[in-house]
Structure 1
Amino acid sequence: MPEKLLNKTTCVLSPLGDSAIVITFGNEIKYDIHKKIKMFMDLLEDEPFVGFIECVPAFTNLTVFYDPLVIYKKQKQSNNDEFISPYEVVRSIMERKLQWLKEDKKLTHRTVSIPVCYGGEYGPDLEYVARYNNLTTDEVIHIHSNGEYLAYMIGFAPGFPFLGGLSEKIATPRRSSPRMTIPTGSVGIAGMQTGVYPISTPGGWQLIGQTPTKLFLPNVNPPSLLQAGDIVKFHPISNQEYKEIILKEGLQ
């Protein structure tokens, strides 16, 4: 059963299978909750416990993966005859570490600039987004490219960033009928979010442009260009500039 930890904020700790624990910090997509998730993730990665594997942030929670066998062996070495499940061991560690969160700490964010060729063959839904919001396509481009977007989480597809901070002026619902194939690098809008498709995949977001920047880098560690907590800024480029960047990267 999930158990609540009362601290400066109320967290809910829940097991996920036999090798992970989910720590839920709230039920809203907002910066304050993201900040707590990011701070706790940094704390765990800077000071990992025995058996720690990795942690994965989402909008409102953090999933911590661990090796139960390593924790069990560690427990046996302590000469403790009382058996405590690996989950209970990890939950106890999480409760203790949560007490160390300093909510007045300021987060630092890496800023990543991403070029986008808007409209035309690269953004087939740009005109629809403009009509839906009673704007011109140039106004949509101006609003989208002048925003600052927080990467709340990476998921759905390898390297796919869920970016918050989209202006209400260009918020647009998903397509009623998803496309079977979305080109790599497509920049889309879905409700109050914007994002970039790092690989070709089915999807239902409204496509307003395309970037030549590679977001999924399978031969790099980590393989995702963007990480949770990054600030993303888009800037418009011409069709010619797009092709020149693609050609340059192809020659490297």
Structure 2
Amino acid sequence: MISSIFLCHGGPTLVIEKNEYTKFLNNLGKKYNPKAIVVFTAHWEEETTTISSIDGTYDMIYDFYGFPKELYSIQYPAKGSTEVATKVHTMLRKNGIESRFDESRGLDHGAWDILYLMYPKADIPVVQVSVDPRLSMEKQYEIGRAIKELGSEDILVIGSGSTVHNLATVDWNSVKAEGWAVEFDNWLIDKVERNDKDALFRYRQLAPHAIRAVPREEHLVPLFIAMGSGNNDKPNALHHSYVYGTLSYICIEF
């Protein structure tokens, strides 16, 4: 049985940074030895849950602009898995959740940014799945619950997004976390570790600085999907740090 995890993927520069979070991700990959990885990425939005279904090597998607040139030459030659993609599709369908396949989309940085650091050999099959931020958080949780049994097959589910994700508040020169961002994250982590789903589903009304921290919800959606797919009765925050004032680096194991 393997747990699911939520990971903040930060900015594209994560793969070339040297900090406590990148060191943590290097070590985290040694903790899990999955047969395959299913990543729900905040950088792929579709109305219908869409599942990458390829057996070959993914193309790279550099879905960012104005960053150091070396980032556009990063390669992560992961292979897909039509077998695992079909498992995900079947599980969703059994739970009344519509989904479809995509046979051509490459890996976006919501997926390769973290996998590059966790599994640098790119030797584990990866299936990428879209999110729909227009759905309620209860619905996001249900999507996760529908694929909960993947853990019993040693398939690691990763929700890749962010908690505080307001790029207008990022200070590239800051070395100190902003208090309001810390307050929001601390509230979120506390409710997750207490399994207080009712509060989490209403985080927008209850959490301090929620609208400022999450002006748009696509990056928080993967947290609720990972929460639903988890097999751990006691969720646990494994890492919590910041860069650039408000950019959260958090990992939660479900």
TM bucket (normalised to shorter chain) is under 0.3
- TM-score normalized by structure 1? 0.23
- Where is the helix percentage greater, Structure 1 or Structure 2? 2
Which is higher, the Rg of structure 1 or of structure 2? 1
- TM-score normalized by structure 2? 0.22
- Where is the strand percentage greater, Structure 1 or Structure 2? 1
